[in-house]
């Protein structure tokens, strides 16, 4: 397969994308959110081995990049939910293709 360009724009685009979704745990966090809105504790339970600090950091990064949205409800105790934005949902097809590639090529 040929590269789409040689001017460096593709490399920059890939670099920018990986800076958003390439961190450890980020793919799995997003994959979990494709099932629907989740609370912090639900995400932590489904991601065996992630520390609360790392989960909080990754969620904050994704929110800052507009990939997920955080909704805080004014309740006692406070309820916080995370869900995908349109920008985040646009990544789903890429994730599906990565999974297909992995199933076919990674042993």
Which secondary structure element, helix H or strand E, spans residue 40, and what is its range?
helix 40-46
Residues 92-107 pLDDT 10s:
998 899 889 999 887 7
Confidence band, pLDDT 50/70/90 cuts, at residue 70: very high
Say whether pLDDT at 88 is over 90: yes
**Higher confidence at residue 29 or residue 3?**
29
Distance CA 10, CA 3 (A): 8
Say whether pLDDT at 1 is over 70: no
CA distances from 13 to 18, 27, 60 (A): 9, 18, 22
Q: Which residues pair with 78 in a beta bridge?
A: none
**What CATH number was assigned to the domain covering residues 23-105?**
1.10.10.10
Domain extents in the chain: 23-105
Q: Kindly write down the DSSP assignment for every residue of 50-65, as one continuous string.
A: --HHHHHHHHHHHHHT
């Amino acid at each position: 397969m040929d590269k789409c360009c040689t001017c460096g724009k593709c490399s920059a685009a890939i670099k920018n994308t990986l800076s958003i979704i390439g961190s450890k745990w980020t793919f799995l966090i997003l994959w979990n959110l494709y099932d629907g809105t989740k609370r912090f504790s639900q995400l932590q339970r489904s991601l065996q081995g992630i520390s609360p600090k790392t989960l909080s950091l990754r969620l904050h990064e994704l929110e800052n990049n507009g990939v997920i949205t955080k909704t805080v409800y004014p309740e006692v105790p406070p309820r916080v939910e995370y869900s995908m934005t349109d920008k985040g949902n646009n990544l789903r097809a890429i994730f599906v293709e990565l999974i297909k590639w992995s199933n076919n090529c990674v042993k």
